[in-house]
Amino acid sequence: MDANNRPGPGKDIGEDSGNSRANVKVDRRAAILAGAAGLGALCLPSRDSAARQTQPHPYRRPFTNYEQLLNTLERRGHKLRVLGLAPDRSPLVAVRAGGDKLPAIFISAGSHSTEHAGVAAAVELIDRLKTRHQVWVLPTRDPIGLNGFRYTLSLALNEVPELKTVQDAEALLRKRGEVLLDDGETLLVQIGEYGYANLGLYRKLEKGSKPLESLRGRRIYFPAGYDDVPGTGPLERAYTLIVTPDAEVLHLNRFHDTPWAPSEVRCARQLMAEIQPELTFDLHEHSGGGFYWMSARRQRTEDLETWERRLAAAGVRAVAATGAQLAPETYSPGSFFEKLEPGVFWLDATQRGEGLNLVDFAANRYGLGFTIETGMRGPFEKRVEQHLAVVQTAVELFESRYA
């Protein structure tokens, strides 16, 4: 079952000896996978060279695992605030950036583990975003998935299995797990507290179906990825699915408006309640190609909706100026989207169902909100640049509202 296990409000990593990383129970098994994943080292400045740079160099490759992300933030001298713990006791951390002016700005990423450019951009924005407003960045909301499918198996097996292919994983699941579903295509097993599948089950199993009975309120992990996208090959990432108490399969970017919610969602929700952000960005990626699009939200007042339109238009123009291809004229992300202008869509959560995602929730309760979607098939550095461009441009316009 999901547990929150909070270390207490306002706890910082690296602030003093009582709150140091050494005293936070972080599962270090993620580091084992640094070599197993086969991604190689991330192109980061050394501690000395980082101190000399006025701005960090953009990433050329995704993070290998969550440990590497935390080490990068610490190496850059950032104080990491622990919001709570994931079920494996990994700390969910946020970093404050920007200035002191209110209202605050909230930036998050990584609710889906394969969407690496958003995570890298969130880390870059801590140093690069220029604003007098207070900024809070939560660089990834799924540290477990970031560590990969082998790591998720270690949570139940107490060891990292030696697997090279998804077929190896399937054989292991059948051997070590209680089989809940095996129809020749879809495999779902339970090992201890966790469910494991060989492919995605989101919107594929009916709510309340028999294979989900023993997984109510638990998690299902499956090996997510694309062979043609560096860093997301077989087993390198795990996708986290949540089975609700009434046996519906959803994912981590839901539950923001529900009393029952996974610990990662509650951490984000608690921070938002504290900082009351009037501008929120959630940095995502899509697998449909190399083009860019973003979604905006209908607002509670006419004035807010005017600003939502203005920031969306400015953001998409900034992305286009980088040379990025915008979504094709005939493209639609789904039936619950309405085109606002090239590259920008309204998202109507009431038509989608499943409750509110992070940006839906932000727009419903706090203010302006945007989901940024870069195309995974584009060059990694370019995707990071697109995230940086839209956020910086939108923030500059947001500042003019409070000048």
pLDDT digits (tens, 9 = 90+) for 150-181: 999 999 999 999 999 999 999 999 999 999 99
pLDDT value at residue 229: 87
pLDDT value at residue 10: 45
Whether the predicted pLDDT of 25 surpasses 50: no
Write down the mean pLDDT value for the chain.
87
pLDDT digits (tens, 9 = 90+) for 285-343: 999 889 999 999 999 999 999 999 999 999 999 999 999 999 999 999 999 999 999 99
* Residues 77-94, mean pLDDT to the nearest whole number: 97
- Collect all residues with Cβ–Cβ distance below 8 Å to 275 and sequence separation of at least 6: 104, 106, 134, 136
* Residues 258-265, mean pLDDT to the nearest whole number: 97
pLDDT confidence tier of residue 233, bands split at 50, 70 and 90: confident
| Residue 178, number of CB atoms within 10 A of its CB | 12
Whether the predicted pLDDT of 110 surpasses 80: yes
pLDDT digits (tens, 9 = 90+) for 179-196: 999 999 999 999 999 999
pLDDT confidence tier of residue 67, bands split at 50, 70 and 90: very high
pLDDT value at residue 51: 34
Whether the predicted pLDDT of 9 surpasses 70: no
pLDDT confidence tier of residue 230, bands split at 50, 70 and 90: confident
pLDDT value at residue 54: 36
pLDDT digits (tens, 9 = 90+) for 215-227: 999 999 999 878 8
What percentage of the chain exceeds 90 in pLDDT? 81
Whether the predicted pLDDT of 52 surpasses 90: no
What percentage of the chain exceeds 70 in pLDDT? 85
pLDDT value at residue 228: 85
Indicate the DSSP class of residue 130: -
Structure tokens at 353: 């169902």
**Nearest of 294, 388, 390 to residue 341 by alpha carbon:** 294
* Residues 384-397, mean pLDDT to the nearest whole number: 97
**Nearest of 275, 286, 307, 197 to residue 243 by alpha carbon:** 197
What proportions of the chain, in percent to the nearest 5, are helix, strand and coil? Answer: 35, 25, 40
User: pTM (2 decimals)?
Assistant: 0.87
pLDDT value at residue 59: 65
Displacement of CA 120 from its chain's centroid (Å): 11
Q: At what angle do helices 149-157 and 166-176 cross, to 10 degrees?
A: 20
Domains and CATH numbers, the chain: 11-142+259-401 (3.40.630.10), 146-251 (no CATH)
Q: Which residue has the higher pLDDT, 32 or 235?
A: 235
